[in-house]
Amino acid sequence: MTTETPKHITVIGAGAMGSQIAMVCALAGYDTDVVDIAQDAVDRAETQLHERMDRDVAKQRRTAEDVAAAFERLTFTTDRDGCAAQADVVIEAAVEDLGIKRKLFAELDRICPEHTILVTNSSNIVSSRVADATGRPEKVCNFHFFNPALVMQCVEVVPHVGTSRKTVDTALELARSLGKQPVELKKEVPGFVANRLLGALRTEALKLYEDGVADFEDIDIAAKTALRHPMGPFELMDLVGIDVVHLIRLAEYEQTGDPASLPARSIREKYEAGEYGRKTGKGWYDYS
Ligand code: 3HC
C-alpha cells in the first residue's frame, strides 16, 4: 500500500468534528476507525451518528444500504495503537492543546507504518508546530474540515514549509474522494482562509452588539436576509461552540501578541458562565 492510495483511515477524537469526519470517510468507502481515550465519548459518537444517519435515510438523502455498508466499515474504539498500526492516513481531531498534540504525533510516528500520512483537523495549531515531534515532517499537514463536517463541502489543505508535494497531492485527492472541495493554501497563516473571513464578520457583529447598535437576533436576521448567509454570526457561534471561538481568539493572541486578537467582552463572559452554545443548551440562544 502506498500513500497515493489510502484505504484505511484512523480518526483520533470522537467529538462533534472527529465523529462526523469519520462518518464522511466511511461513507466514501474507507475502512475507518474513530478513536477516543474515553469509552463514553466513543459510545456517544456512535449513538449520535446512528441518529443522524437514520434521519438522512428517513429524508431519502441516503439509502439504508449505503448507511449500513458505511457502519460496517466504521469501527468505534479506544484502541488507538491497534488502529494507528494499520492506518494509511491518521486524521487528528483531538483536543486543541499543543502539548497533547505534540505527544500524540510523536506516539503516532512511532506506531504508524512508514508511509502513513499524519494530518490535523486543527485550524488553531498549524502543522509546523507538531511536525517536528515526528520523524516524518514531510508527511504532516493540516486537513481542516468545517462544522458540521457531514454537510460542509470545504476542506482546507495547509502544508508547512517541510510538507512534501506528494503529501499535499495525496491530501487534495483524499478530500476529493470524500466528496469535499479542497482549498489549498500556499503557506501557513493563523486561521487559514475561511476562519479569517468568518473572524472578520464575527468581530464586526460583536462590535455592533457590544456598542448597542442592534440586538444579536437582529444582526443575525441582517446576515441571513440581507446577505443570504445560511446562519447569522451569533447562531454560528452557538453551532461551532463559544468555547471554540474563545480558544481561537486566545490562540491568535498567542501568535500576534496584539490585544485586538483577544476574545470580545461578551464572548469572555459567556465562556466564563459555561454558556458554550448548542452543546451546553445555552449560548447566545436558549436550546433547552
Ligand atoms: N450535523 C450534521 N448534519 C447537520 C447538522 C449537524 N449539526 N445540522 C444540520 N445538518 C444537516 C441535516 O441533514 C439537516 O437536516 P435535518 O435536520 O432535517 O436532518 C440539514 O443539514 C439541513 O439542516 P437545517 O434544515 O436544520 O438547516 P439549514 O438548511 O440551514 O442547514 C446548516 C444547516 C448546514 C448547518 C446551515 O445552516 C449552514 O451551512 N450553516 C453555516 C455553517 C458554517 O458556517 N459552518 C462553518 C463553521 S466554522 C468552522 O467549522 C471552522 C472551525 O475551525 C471552527
Q: Residue 214, exposed/middle/buried by CB under 10 A (0-12, 13-18, 19+)?
A: middle
Q: Which of 69, 162, 53 is nearest to 118 (CA)?
A: 162
Binding residues are 13-18, 36, 96, 101, 123, 147, 279
Nearest CA, atom 31, ligand 1: 230
Question: Hey, which residues are catalytic here?
Answer: 123, 144, 156, 195
Ligand 1, atom 2: nearest CA belongs to which residue?
148
Confidence of residue 180 (pLDDT cuts 50, 70, 90): very high
Q: Which residue has the cell 437514520?
A: 54
Within a domain: 284:
no
Flag whether pLDDT at 284 surpasses 60.
yes
Question: For residue 181, which phi and psi values (nearest 5 degrees)?
Answer: -105, 105
Q: Flag whether pLDDT at 287 surpasses 90.
A: yes
Domain carrying residue 38: 8-184
User: In this structure, what CATH number is given to the domain that contains residue 74?
Assistant: 3.40.50.720
Tell me, yes or no, whether 229 and 169 share the same domain. Answer: no
106, 58: one domain: yes
193 close to ligand 1 (CB < 6 Angstrom) = no
Å from CA of 215 to ligand 1 middle: 23
How confident is the model over 187-218, as pLDDT tens digits? 998 889 999 999 999 999 999 999 999 999 99
Looking at 152, 184, 216, which one is the last position of a domain?
184
**pLDDT confidence bin for 4, thresholds 50/70/90:** low
Same-domain pairing of 231 and 128: no
Asked, for residue 234, whether it belongs to a domain, the answer is: yes
Q: Kindly state the helix (H) or strand (E) to which residue 13 belongs, with its residue range.
A: none
pLDDT confidence of residue 2: 45
Q: What confidence tens digit (pLDDT) does each residue in 30-54 have?
A: 999 999 999 999 999 999 999 999 9
| Average pLDDT for 177-186 | 98
CATH code for the domain of 250: 1.10.1040.10
The confidence score (pLDDT) of residue 3 equals 45
Per-residue pLDDT of 208-247, as tens digits, reads 999 999 999 999 999 999 999 999 999 999 999 999 999 9
Same domain? 165 vs 136: yes
Q: How confident is the model at residue 1 (pLDDT cuts 50, 70, 90)?
A: very low
Residues 170 and 41 in one domain: yes
Tens digit of each residue's pLDDT (9 = 90 or more) over 135-167: 999 999 999 999 999 999 999 999 999 999 999
Closest C-alpha residue for ligand 1 atom 30: 230
Do both 179 and 200 map to the same domain? Answer: no
What is the residue-averaged pLDDT of the chain? 96
Mind listing the pLDDT tens digit for each residue in 75-123? 999 999 999 999 999 999 999 889 999 999 999 999 999 999 999 999 9
Binding site for NAD(+): which residues?
Answer: 13-18, 36, 96, 101, 123, 147, 279
Give me the number of domains the chain comprises: 2
